[in-house]
Structures are given as C-alpha cells and as structure tokens.
Structure 1
Amino acid sequence: MNKTHRSIWNEATGTWVAASELAKGKKKASAAKAIVIAAAALSVVSQAHAYSAGGTGSTASNDSGIDSNIAIGSNAYAADTSLNYLLVNDGRYLQQFNLAIGASASATGIGSMAIGQYTLASGQNAGVVGFGATATGAFGTVVGSLGTAAGAASSALGYRSAASGDFATSMGSYNNASGYASVAMGMYANSTGDSSVAIGGYSKSVGGGSVAIGTSAVATNANDVALGTDTTTAVAVNTPGATIGGNSYTFAGTNAKSTVSVGSARNERTITNVAAGQLTASSTDAVNGSELFATNQQVTQNATDISNLQGNVTTINGQLADAVMYDSSAHDSVTLGGVDATTPVALHNVAAGEVSATSFDAVNGSQLYNLASSTANSFGGGSTVNSDGSISNPTYIVGGDTYNNVGGAITNLDGRVTQNTTDITNLQGDITNINGKLADAVLYDSSAHDSVTLGGVDATTPVALHNVAAGEVSATSFDAVNGSQLYNLASSTADSFGGGSTVNSDGSISAPTYLIGGDTFNNVGGALTNLDGRVTQNTTDITNLTNNINNGTIGLVRQATPTSTVTVAKDTGGTTVDFTGTAGTRVLTGVSNGAVNESSVDAVNGSQLYAVSQSITNISSQLADAVMYDSSAHDAITLGGSGSTTPVSIHNLADGVADSDAVNVGQMNAALASVTNIAENSTDPMFSAQGDRNSEAATASGTHATAGGANSVASGATSSAYGAGSQATAKNSTALGAGATATAENSVALGAGSVADRANTVSVGSAGSERQITNVAAGTAGTDAVNVDQLNDAVSNATGSAVQQATQQSNAYTNQQIGIVRKQMNALGATAMAASSLIPNARAEGNFQVAVAAGTYGGESALALGANWYVGDRLLLNAHVARSTGSGGSTGASVGATFGF
C-alpha cells in the first residue's frame, strides 16, 4: 500500500482524491502533518471496506458492504457492526465507521471510537480517550485513563472515573456514578441513587434524587441534601405537634419526605445570613437568631416575672403551707395534728362565735366560762366555776336542812322550773343548728381573720373536730374546750342534781330520782309538788307562790294533781315569760335535759348548753390559729410551734372511729386494759397480727428499731418496718405496708410493695407500680413539692412565648443557612452559565482558541476562561476554568474532548 499518499476530501470536485503526505494545502505548515494524519484517519475511498495502518497486528474488519473502519496502532482493532452511519460535510452518510487509535485499542461498537492504549469502545456510538478507558454502554463517553462508562449514554471524565448507571456522569478520579442519571464529581465520589448528585471528594449520594456536596458528604435517603464537608443525613422525622404546658399544638410542614443537613454529630455548623422567616401557624420558613433573640428576651422577662411570682408565692405558702388539712376529701372531719395524730392540740385566740338557732360557729373559753358562770349563778348557793371549767356544788338551806345539790334543794320547790322551758328549748334548737352547719372550714372566711367557717364559707355539712386540747376556762378565756371539759361540767352538774343523776354517753345528764313523802319523783317539778311550807324560808313571794303551786288552783303555774303536767299561763296570752323579781333577775334551776332535735320545743339546761359551747369553743380555737407542720416535709407537727419545748395537751377528744382517727384516754385505757387482758389471759384480744409467731415473727435487730407484721424486718439503726414482709434495712429508714422495702439511709417506703432505694427519699411505689400523691398542698420553699395547679400555672406563663420565640429563632437560623446554600447554588448556576458560553469558533483560523465568558444567575455572577485545541479536523480538546464571585464564590474546572465522525 502507498504510505506516502492518503485520500483527502476535495471541496471543488466534491470527491475524495489521493494526495501526497508531503503536499501543502491552505493550512499552516506547522499543522500540515496533523492534518494529513487526521485525513488519513478519516479517508474513505469509494467501495473501500476497511483500513489498518500504523503498528503491527492492527486490524480493520468489514463484512457488510459500504463500511469504513479504521484501526491505527499495534494490535488496534476496529470491528464491523451493522447499520451505523456517519454524516459527512456534504450531508451524505458513511456506514459502519469505527475508529481505534492506539496500541491494543478496540472499537467494536456500532460507530464507536477508542483512542489510547488498551482502550475499548464496545457500546454503540461509544467513545473513549485515555489509557485503558472502557465504554461498554451505548453512547457512553470516557475521557481519562482507566475510566469506564458502562451505562447507556453515560459519561466518565478523569482517572479511573466510572459511570456505570444509564445516563450517569462521573467527573474526577476514582469516582463512580452508578445510579440512573446520577452525577459524581470530585475524587472517590459515589452517586448510587437514581438522579442523585455527589460533588466533592469521598462524597456519596445514596438515596434516589439525593444531593451530597462537600468532602465526605453523605446523602443517605431519597431526596436528602447533605451540604458541607463530613455532612451526613438521617431519616426525616416528622413532628406533627407537641403538648406544652398541657396545651396541644399542631405544626405545619409535618409530611417531610427528606432532610437537608449541613453537618453531622460533633461536626455541626451554623447557618448564617438567614432572612427572618414568616411567623404564622402555617409557616414552614426557617427562623433566624434575631427572631429567637426576641423570643428569648420575652422568656427572660417571663423568667423574671415567674421568679418574682414564686417569691410572692413562697411568702404566701410559707404562711399557709402547714395549715391543718381535712381528714379526707369528704371534708367531714378535721383532726388537729393530722389524721393519725394522737397528741391533743390546743386552739387559742378563738373569736366568740355567734350563738343562734342557725349558727355553726365555734365558741371560745370565755363563752363557755360565761355559760358555766351563769350556770353557777343560776345554781346559787355559793356555786362557782372551777379552774377546769366544772362547777362547784352549791349549798342550799331549805327548811332548816342543808343541801349540796340542786336535786336536794329542788325537793322544796315546785313546777316553777318549767316556766323557761320554751325559751331554753328554742336556744337548744339554735345551738343544734349551729353544730349542724359548722361544715369543714379550716381557713378564715375572709382576710379580716374575724370569722372561720368549717367546710368553707358556704358549707352546710357539719365537721367533727378531733384532738382538741383543753382550753382555758375563765371569764376572759377565748379558748376552745374539749369533751373532757364538757364532761367535767356535766358531771359536776349531775353531782349537784343528786338523786342518782349521772352523765350519759351523749353528754346529757340522766334524770335524778327523788323520794319525797313516800313517793318517787324523776324530775324536779314532780319532787317540788310534795313540798310544803318549807319554801317560806326563802322570801314571802316564794312562800306564797309555793302555796299556790301546792294547791294547783291559782297562779300562772298550775298542776291539777302531783303527777299531772305543770302548766304556765296556759289561759293567758303573751309571748314572753319574765322571771325578773324585786331583787332583779332570777336563776332557773333544776331543768331536765330537753329533747334536742329539729322539731323539739323543750327547754335545755345549762349542761346541754355547756356541751354545745364546748364544741363551738373547740372549733373556734382551731380556726383562730391553725396548727402548722414543722417543715415542708409534712412529717412532724410540734404543738406550740416548731421548736417549742413546752408540752401542750389535747382534751375533750372524741372516740376515734376510723382506722386513722385519734383515740382519747378512755379509748387508750380500754386498749391498755385489752392489752393487759391479752398479756394476762391471752383470750379475746382487742388487736391482733395474723401469722405464725414461730415461723413468721417480726425482727427488729437494729438499734432502737421497730418491726410489726409477719416476717417484717427492721435491721437498720432506728429503723421502722410495719406490714407483712416489710423491710427497713438502712439507718433511719421506714417501710410501711406489706412488702414495702426501704434499703437506703433515711429513706421512706409508703404503701404495699413500695421500694425506697435512694437515701433521703420517700417512695410511694416501685418501678411499674407507681402511685399518685393526691391532695398535695401548694409548695412554698425551694425544696417543696409542687402540685399540678402550680406546675400548670408556671408552664402556661412561660411556654407560650418561649415556644414561639424558640420557633422564630429556629426558623430564622434555618432560613439563614438555606440562604447561604441558595447563594452557593446560584453561584454554581452562574458558573454553569458562564462555562456554557465558552463556545469554540468554528470559523476562526488556527488550531488553538481562547474564549472568555461571564454569567449571572439568581443575583450571583461568574467569569469563565476556556482553551480549545483542534487536533485535526475531527478531534477537539478543551479545558475550561470558571470562578463565581460574591459570598458564595467558588472555582470549577473541566476538560473535554469532541470527536467528529
């Protein structure tokens, strides 16, 4: 073959003609050889089927007619395929044009091109340039040594760059774009997700449509965006709403499918220059720091306000934290000292309560003293009020005989004692109403502290008052009195009645029995009917009145027979009975206990009124100065106040009924008697602990420890264990309840199965068996517990504005960072716009061209510089560099090759 001539295109004749390699044409002399080589590579002679040149073993095969395959280089191979055409200058097609240039280069695909040693272009219309470059996918392009383009229409540029996904693009060394239409740029960049983008060394875009920009950036999930070096993404977490301060809030933008990340754990970044986001219920904008700062300012102010409020609350609670509590939520009982208290507590400074038919006010000691004093005065005969509130026996001289009780003296009197029955009955009814309406009030009715209503201002259900200390009984006393003081008064009154009169269990006094003239009488009136002239020793009026009463025929007071009813002015009108005599008011004595009920019109005697007075006084004393707990722990009450060393007694304590009620001395004596009975007789015990004492005995092995209940153990010093199987093993620990365990020092386990395993704690349950603590008073000190009302108040005051401010700041921060990313993306767009304008001039002379271009996008600008080198007529090599300006400025570069067929 003639190696000094080649076929070249003749524009004048429109044909291929033979030309010497030494001939000169219109091109510059320096480029003549390149032109000849290019012409030789592309020369096609009519009816020629294959051409090989250059090295030993090069092969150009053709088996199908009008084809043009060229192999240049040692072992180069341009194989024949079918149905591929090449558009030439005059618009005609050449079939089966394959090009292989380089040692062992192989172009086996339809219309493929392989340039470089050991290159392979096996895909249809594939093109490779570079040592060992391989394009197996149709329309694949590889520029760079050892690059691969396995995907259809994929592109790989750079050393060992790989584009294995269809329509994928890989630019840089060791990259791999395996996802469909994915892009990998940088070094060791990997884009495995479909339509994903990985830009930067070691970056990875795993999820479909994900974007990873930056060294080692990883976008894991579909549509995720990872921005910056070492940035990673995680699964988007939707937050539909939140509950803050007991209020539920619903958020906008709760259907996130992917996430944008600008950092990773321990590699966080700030997002700056974020514009203020819109703050609305439906806004999904990011907020910046200034928005959060505004919120924080309000939160700070709220914190100050809350702190001031807490100070005020603490001051108030310091005064109220230890107020006496109702025994139960029913508000029907109050025990001074607490539900389980056994030590009586005195109530002092009780204001005088109203004494009326509808009053439920407590009465004080002075009212009781006045009652006792008036009773003593009514007794006369030198009767006085003793220091304990009881009344000393009077001394009556009737008929020459001396009597020390009303009963003895009344034997000389008649039925005049009934003249005040109606008025006293009304008084008893009023007092009964008072008792029935003293509900449960523990606090003062108003800030004036001049009135207290048990059960509340509007309460209507009476409340029992337990554990009341004996109040002072004197003319000036305002103390409440208790049951024992009332009992003393009733007892002394019964003693004064004589005739076997005693105090009944309800506080009333049983009727006496008088033997007069051989007849038995159980009331003063009946006894007086047998009296005769002995009444004359009093006054002339009394003597005359006695005579009239004895015959029962005249006067306002009449009695037909000794056993008949005594009437008072039954035949006259009037609404008032006046006992005033010439010496002034008179004392009405010897009055039996009248019926005490809603419909009763009986007169009541002094002992009954005294009983009511005592009850009212006790209640008033409690309301005047409530007993306070020693500390916020509510675990101790010192009568007389915390730190007091003077003992305080509680008197007039009613019998306890419920398990948690206090007991009085009478009950205690009965219990002691029962215990004594158990110890002595071991029969019919009044208390017991079921279990086998031989195998389930309680053990108190700690110093001064106490254990009660089957198998209970108190091994800690001064520890206490109560309840079957309870254990208190640490110093000062307390376990109360079956199976309760207190293993930490100074800990308390309350309730069955409760576990207290931390020092200085109180446990009311265990893991999985928690309990609520109800009826918690509002905390005042810093270490006090707070109840739900306090917590809700504090949270509602702080969280509303705090959440809004936090949301605003967060949105602003996010907007700022997104703004930065937006600028960077706009800068990238401007760079792309500039680079895309670096178009080579096909009409300019010369093989080397330089191009300059500028671009703008989204407010960002960029400059681009490009160089183009024509290597022959069919190969164009180019290199471009572009730089964006502004805050998002960055530099990019690219290289490429364009082949013509």
Structure 2
Amino acid sequence: MGDQARAEQANAVAIGKQSAAIGLYSTAIGSTTGTPRQPVYTKDANGKITAIDGISVTTTGAGTDLTDIIEINGVPVTNTEVNSFVASLSSGANLSLGKNSIALGTSNLAAGESSVALGDSSKAVAKDAIAIGRNGNASGGQAISIGAGAQAAASGALAAGGASSAGRDGAVALGQGAFANTTAGISIGQNAGVGTSQGITNDRTDHIAIGHNSGQNVIGNRNIALGVGAGSNLSADGNGSSDHNIAIGVNAGSNLSGDDNIAIGRDANKNITAVVVESVAIGSRVDATTGSTVLGNEAKAYGGDFATVLGYKAKVTGDSGTALGRDSEASANNIALGASSVANGTSTAAAYLTAETKMGGYNIVSVGQAGQERRITNVAAGANPTDAVNVKQLHEAQKSVASLIGGKTGVDPVTGGFTGYIIELTDKNTNQTHQYKDVASAINAVSSGAISVLPGNAVMYTADGRISNVTAGTQATDAVNLAQLNQAIADNGQHHVSINSKNPANKNNTGATADESLAIGAGVTTSNAGVKSVVVGFDAATNAKESVAIGNTSTLANGDASIAIGKTALARSTNNIAMGTNASSNGMESIAIGTNIQIDKTTGTSDYAVGIGSYSEVQNADQAIAIGRKAIVQGDNGTAIGHESRAAKENASALGNFAKATAVSANAIGNYATASGTSANAIGDNAKATAGNANAMGKSAEATSTSSNAIGDNAKAAADNASAIGTNARATGVNANAMGKGAKAFEQDASAIGTGAQAFRQDTLALGTSAVASGLNASAIGKSADAAGLNANAFGNGAKAGAESSNAIGTGANVSATNGFALGTNATVTHTNAIALGSGSISGNATPTASAIVNGKTYNYSGINPTSTVSVGSLGNERQIINVAAGRVSASSTDAINGSQLFQTNEELANLANKTAQALGGGALANQATGAISAPSYTVTTNPAGTGTKTTVNNVGAALTALDTAVNQPLSFAGDTGAQISRKLGETLNVKGGATGTLAGTGNIGVVANGTNQLDIRLAETINLGGNGSVTTGSASIKNNEVKVGTNTLTDTGLKAGNVKVNTSTNDVTGLSNITWNPAGTYNSGRAATEEQLLSAQNQLNTTLTDKGFSISAQGANSDKVKLGETVDFRNTDGNLVATRSADNTINYDLAKNISVDKVTLGNIIIDKATGINAGNQKITNVKAGDVNSTSTDAVNGSQLYTAQNNVKNVLGSSTQIDATGNLTSTNIGGVTGANTVHDAIQQVNSTATNAKTQADKGLNFAVNGVSPADNVQLGETV
C-alpha cells in the first residue's frame, strides 16, 4: 500500500511510499526520505567485497566489482538481481529483506532474518538483530542498538544511547557515547569505555566501565572501573597490557600501568608513572606501589615496593616498609606503629653489653618519634636472645645490682601514665564516596529507567491518534478541518455511484443505500447507518457513518469512521483500521495490519491499540502495540515487537523474537527474553527477570528474586536485592553483590568484586581478582586474597587469614592461628593470639619465664604466663624497636624498657666496679667491658723505727700484715721540758693543764704539728664558751643571748637602736619617722616605707583604677565606659547566637539550633529572603517531586518536567523527540514529510485537502462500448 510499495513474498506487508517487504513474512511500514542512501561496502585486505550494508555476499574472481557477486546472504543471484538489490539499498526506501523481518519508520533496512529496524535510516542486518533509532545499526547476530547513531556490531551486542557503540561479542554499551569494544565488555555512562578496544590477537577482553568517562583508553584485560573518569588511560606494561585492575571512585586508578591493582576512592592511585602490580589503594588521593597495601586518605607508598600503609597521610618511602597510624612514616624494611611515628634509616650503633653490629645496620620498629615516644605494655618476659625484655626483668637486674652494692642500696620504682598503641584500620571506602556503591546506584540508574530501554523515537501513539479542534481555515495557507473537507465534497454533488458488473444496471443506487455513501463493486452495500461511507470490492459492506470498506468476502467496516481493507477484514469500532486478510480490529481508534491479525475485546476494551504482523493479537488491552508475526499484547499500554513476542500485562514491553513480558510494567528486550516480575527488565537474548523490580541485562542473564540485578552474559542474581555484574557472575544471597567475570557472592550481604572473586558466607567481602572470603563476616581484599576464618580479614595480594578473628595485611601475609595478626609483606603467624609486624616477620611460641638466678640468687618475674608473642622479624632478619617510651620500673611492671633505662643499669654496674677499684686504691682499675678489677699495688714500711725499709705488696692481706707490724711499734712524746715518754698503741698517755673552775666547751684549743717532731697548742679560730660563758671588752659585751654596745641591745627577741625597734616575735619595725607620702614629690631609694605611706599609695591607686575602668564598643561603634566592679552582660537579641560563660570565665558564642536570617551566601549559591534562591549556575539535586495543581508553589524536579515534556511529545506524535538538553524536536509530524512543526503539518493537510478537491472537481469520465466522447460525471451526480 503506497506509491511504489511492494510485497514480494508470502504474507509480506508493505505500507508507505517505496516501502519493500521482500522477505518471507516480512513487514515494511513507512516511507523514504527521498534522499539516496550510499550503501556501505565491507572489503577484506585485498579489496574483495564481503558484505554490503552488513549483508554477506559471495564473490568470484577478484571480487572487487559488483559483477563478481554470485550470492547474497547465501542465495545465488544474477548480475541483474545484484544491480536491483543495490538499487533498492541506494534508493533510501524502507526495506524488510529478511524472513520475519520488520522495518518500521523512514528509510530503514531490516536485512537479517527476524530482524527489526525502527526509526529513521536504522539498519538491522543480521539474524535476530534489533535497531531502534535514527541511523542506528545492529549488524551482529542477536545484536540490539537503541538510540540515534547507536552501533551494535557483534553477536549478542547491546548498544543503548545516542552514538553508543558495542563492537564485540556480548558487549554492552549504555549511555550517550558509551563504547564497548571488547568481548563481553560492559560500558555504562556517557562516553564510558571510549578508546578501549580489543587487541589484534583477541586479547584485551571483558572490561567493565561504569560512569561518565570511565574505562577510557585501556590496554588490558578484565579491568573494572566504577566512577567518573575511573580506570581510564591504562597503558601497556612489560607484558603488553594492564590486566585485572579494579578502580572505584572519581578518577580512581587512572593513568596507570600494571596488573591486579585495586584502587578505591577519589583519585586513588591516579597518575602513577612507574609500572604498578598487585597494589591495593583505598582512600582519597592514595598512592600505592607494586605489592603495596595502602589504606587511608592521602596515604602514600613511594620509593619502593611491597609496603603496608594504614592511616591518614601515613607514608612509606622504601621497599617492604610498614606505617600504621595517622601521619606515620617508615622507610625501607622499617615499621612505624602509631600516629606520627617515624621509622627512617637504619640503626648502626653497636648494641649495649653485647656490642653486636650488623653490616648495613639494623632495620627498625618505631612506636613514636624523638620527643613523642610511647610505651609498649603487657610485654611478656623475654627468654630467647632476640626477645624483648620488660621492666620487671630490668627491675630484677637492678635488684641484682643493689644486692652487689650491698648495704641499704634499693631500687626506686619509676611510674608513668599508660600510653597504649592502638592499631586503627580505617577503611574509607569513599565515594561515594559512587561513597563503590554505588554500583548499586549505577545499577539502579539502569533498572529505574534513568537509562531508557527504549529510544525517544520508538513507536508511540497518543490517546486518540488525532489532531483535533482545528479552527476552520480562511487563508490559502491555513489548515482545514474535517467539516470543511466534508463541505467541499458536499458542494460538488449530492449523489454517489453504485456499480454492479454482474447484475442489471444499478440506476437506483440499491448498493449505496446510506446518505452520501459510495459503493463500488459487486455485492457491496452501505447500510442506512453508513452515512458518508465508502465501500469498494465484492461482498463488502459499511455499516457505520464515514467508514471505508475495501476488499471482498465479508469485508466489513462497522464502526464510525472505521477502515477495513482486505479479504474478510473487519473494522468493528469507532475510528478502527483493519488491513489484511482476516484482519480484525474491535477497539476504538485501533489499527490492525496483517494477515489474521486480531485486535479484540471480550472482557475489557482494546482501544487505541496497534497491531502489525500476521497472526498478531491485541487482547482486551488499551493503547497496546503488537508488531511481528504472532506478537500478542494482553495488557493496557503493552508493547510486543518481534516474532511470537508477548506482553501479557499492563505497561509491559516485549521486543524481540519470542520475547515475553508477563507482569505489570515488565520489559523484555531480546530474542527469547523473559520478564515475568512486576517492573522487571530483561535485556538480551534468553535474558530472564522473573521477580518484582528484577533486572537482567546480557545474553542468558537471569535475575530471579525481588529487586535483583544481573548484568552480563550468563550473569545470575537469585536473591532479593542481589546484584551480579559480569560474565558468569553469581549473586545468590539477599543483598549480595558480585561484580566481575565469574564473581560469586553466595549468602546474605556478601560482596565479591573482581574477576573470579568469591564471597561464600554472610557479610563477607571479596575484593580483587580471585579473592575468596569463605569465613562468616570475613573480608578478603587483593588478588588471590583468602579469608577463610570466622571474622577473618585478609588485605593484600595473596594474603591469607585462615583462622577465627585472624588478620593478614600485606602482600603474601599469612595467618593460620586464632586471633593472629600479620602486618607486612609475607608476614606469617602460626601461633594463637600472636602478632607478626613487618615484611617477612614470623611468629613464635611464647616461652614462660617465671624467674632467673643471678650470682646464685633467684629472682621472680611478673608476666610469667605469656599468652602469645609479638614478632618484628625472623631468625637472621631481626629488627630493632626504636622510639620506645620509658617503661615503668617496679616489681609488677610488664612494660618494655628502652635503651636509656638499660644504659642507666649498665652505668650502675660500671660505677660499682669503679667504686670497688677506688676503694681498693693502689692503682686498681675496673675494666668497663668485662667488669674485672686489676690488682692494686701497695707500698709499706716494714721497719719504720729502724731503717724504714719499703716493700711493695699487691693484695690487701699483705698490706694489712705489714701495717700490723708497723702499728705495734711505740710512739715517743716530748714536751718543752722534761724527759721523753714512749707509749704503744693502746697504752694511755695523760696530758693535763693547770686551769681551775668551770671549763669552757671543747674545741677551743687545738694542737698543731710542725711537720717534724713538734706539736703546738693553739687557741681555735672558733671558740664555744657554752651557755654561761661571756666575753667583755670595754663598754661592749657578748653573752649567751645578748649583744650590748652602750645602750643599744640585740637579743633573740629583737633589736633596739635609738627610737627604732625591730621585734622578731611580731616581725614589726617601729619608730621610723617617714610616715607621709607625696606621689608628686621625691623619694629616697632603698628606704623602707611605713604603713602610713603604703595606705596613702593604695588609696591613690584605687581612685585612679576605679575612675579609669575600660571601654566596650560593638564593631567600633557605641563605645561605653565600664568602671571596675561594674557588670558587662553578653547577649544576642535576634536569637541566632547564644552566649555562654564556661567555668574558666571564657565567653563563648554558639550558633543557635534554629536560626532566622534574611540572606545566606554559600560560595556562588545565595539564599535571599526577598529574592529567593540563586543556585549560582549549579544543579539543585535530590529535589522531591512537588505537588502539581493550580495552587501549588512547590519546586518540581527533572523527572516531573520530563513527564510533562513527554506528554507534549505524545500529543505531537511519535516523531517528536526530547533531546539531551530537554528540548522538543519534531520531524515529519503525522507522517507528513517536512512537517517539523504543528504549523507545518496543518499547512500540509491544507495542501492535501486542496489537491483532493482539485482531483474531485475532475469528476469521472464514462464511455459506452468505447464510443467517444466520454461523458464527464461530477461527484454527487447520477449515472
């Protein structure tokens, strides 16, 4: 039907100018643009033609010319047929070439078997392909392209969105400009995946990019990017690609080269110049090198690999370093534990006591920095040579020193506040931070319809399908309405023609019995009700006003203004159209086109429905669309497009051969796709969404539980709110998430992200390629990380936490014991409750040490029952622990001690040896290294009274013997006169004086030797005469309690000198003459002031201070003077500020919980009470939908505006589109070429009416038996 339309195969339908239905059961509806189309020729490397417009051809010879083509799509052809085929493609006509194919719109091409091309210049050139939208192209088997310029060029590919492209098998591209050009790749978001293509050897596959500009320019395999700009610009490393990377967050993991990296957070591992492998970077602006694990905002690992960094701004600057805590810092192989701890360089100093050294120095463990040391508490007593010792052991060593010293020597305990070192693991899983989540946000964007499953230019129909209420035109260019057209026809005659070729002449109009009706053909009738109806054919009839029946064998138009065209076609309701053999339309303003098509109503209505295709049906469904052979719609607003497609409930849509949408608002797109849950969406061949709000996207994807999501080929989501994203991904637990090829999340709230990642138990997390979390509440982050224990955590590539509550952090870290903790690359814990800190550290057994024997004495220790060990190295790879705060030293202390405390003990040991050597004298010396004391050397005189022989002895015993001999010789005494007296030691010598009476105290007289043989008796310089003694000289005298000079006295009660008295009992000075004070006069420096003078000065000061006071002003104005003693009250009158006074007399102003202001400025955003809100050219997001009524003053959001625009679009017709900026554009309104506005369409209708009148004015020419001239009969005249 239409100018040059042609249907060349059985059951084919062609409607519209130059439309061609060439394939068996094919349907072509629409027209041509009138512009020739240039076919696209595909050629191999030798220039041989292999396809034309995606349709395969076989050539002979060179194969470079059309004359070389011998087969098209496997069918042998001649040169003439080839030229005809190319001419059809070049004509720009609407073509359906494949069996069961559908081309609907303008200049579309449906060349593949069961293919569908809808829109303007779209192409579906492969089997089961679907192309919807202007210039869309689906050239792969079962491929789907939706949107202007969308390209789906491989088997099972899906491209949805303007200029989107899915160029490899199983690829999915959703969003404006989204690009998925790797096998099974997924790109969701504007320009996602652009520049990322599969390699020549078919490597670089399975990429996932979700977010604006995410996953761009990637050279690699199986990378995952989630977030704006995430995972872009991954360059080739030494292996030729960057593989298995995961990037979540804005710009996370971009501009990177390397494999198996995880970056989570804004700018995480962004712009890393060196090749990075197996790193984990979690947090905002985090950098991680090869094998490193970095967690915390602005944390860094650089200058080396295999680092472990946890904490805000923590950093490691060398290989295998570990930094734990805010602002902590560690260099190569060192460990910094705690906020602001620093572990840089190596320790080269020789060890105390042992004097051990190590080539290149010792690596260190730091729990602080200079001036900010920390204590290590609860340290078990060490036993092995490399064990740490605690304060208890030091205390016992000090007690040993005290015992060696002897006497009353003791140990003072040193106490101090406990400072615990807390390992704080901060997992700020940002964004968004999308804080990752959200994948859920990205998935919801698809499932909720933010990314539409149908393009804006899909086939849509308004409520009544008419342009109504057109005012009668008056000018030549005005549109005309139906009344004007009817009047124009009526003005040209009042009678109709009825012709019956077999019966006698029908001069009495027995066929056309209704007023103003037209009946042409044998057995045709217009009943009395068929006013202004037209019937043409044989045995056809019209039984309603303004109806049209064209056909034979009971073709009936029984509804007002209905049209029935075709054998036994039935149009039974108002404004019906039924076209095709046995076509039946029984819904108001419904259209049925095709053989045996049925639009019927039994229990309800089928108004405003459209059915196109043989055996298609609309059953009791209003506003339904069924297009394709045996397509069925059974619910209001349902859409079924494709062979045997079915939309069984209201608002359901099924697009694709055998697609089924059997629940309310369900959507099934793809061959054999099934959507059986309310609001479920199934997109892709064999995709299944069988529960409410479920979403399945990808070949054989299945979402079988409420609100579940399965995206990717063979992805399965089988529990409520579960999400499986990626080829063969599985999510079987409630709220579970599996993202990545082969990722699996089995139980409730489990999450598996990464290729092959598996989360087995409830609340588990597996993040990274082949990561496995199999213990309840376990977390595994990193490539091949394995968390198998209850509450276990494994962070880092290859990390393993296999026991309950175990924690393994770092590449290759391994914990196999309960409550074990391994921190660092390849750190290993195999003992319960043990800790291994640092790269390569290995745990050991706890060795109880209850006591020790020192010099034969037993000393008992505290902390004698250690439960586990803390290791900071391994045998041969020990580390020093530095920046250790001094531990408490007491009998019960288990604190760690630092070098300075041990140094003091060593110093005491050295002092003991020195003191012993000093006590021995004789040149004895203490060896500081060994503690040994050299033999002394004493010189003694064996015969002092005789020759005075001197002998040297080297021990104390010999010296004492010689001394004994010497002391047993007598001493001789001589006076000024008299005989000499001799006495031995122990004998008595009486020395008497001649004084009588009470004697003075001792010590007043001394005896002085003259250095030879004489003792002089002298008066002492200090004489004590006792309590009753006195000294008198002249008028001065000194007694026990008085010094007197004339009349002036000094006693223990005071001093009296003239009129001045100093009383020591009251501390008063009286009798001073200076009792007045003139502040303007002079003063005597150094003279004491009296109380009278001080009182006068105080009164003057009080007066000055009180009068002066201080001033208070408000922002430089309204100054007021406040005297001392007066009160100043701080308050606020508008209620926006609250003034309070704290205990330390600080005045605080706090913002009230509820404030009222006239204007608020936030950056460029201004909220003004008078003028409203100025958003500063920024979006206002998360706006709740406002009430829409005549009195509402609510703000409306984008979705409400879009609904309003969509309603306008629906009124204007299916050719009206809503572009990305929200503007409405229309082309060819009402199917009228060039009518891009309502005004244009009305002008075209007016022109058509004028042309119709011109044609009607020509009338009909009748000749009898070929005799000329023929008679001209105007419409309305009787023949």
TM range (shorter): under 0.3
Q: Larger helix proportion, structure 1 or 2?
A: 1
Which TM-score applies when normalising by structure 2?
A: 0.20
Select the structure with the greater relative contact order (CA < 8 A; seq sep ≥ 6). 1
Max Rg structure:
1
Q: Larger strand proportion, structure 1 or 2?
A: 2
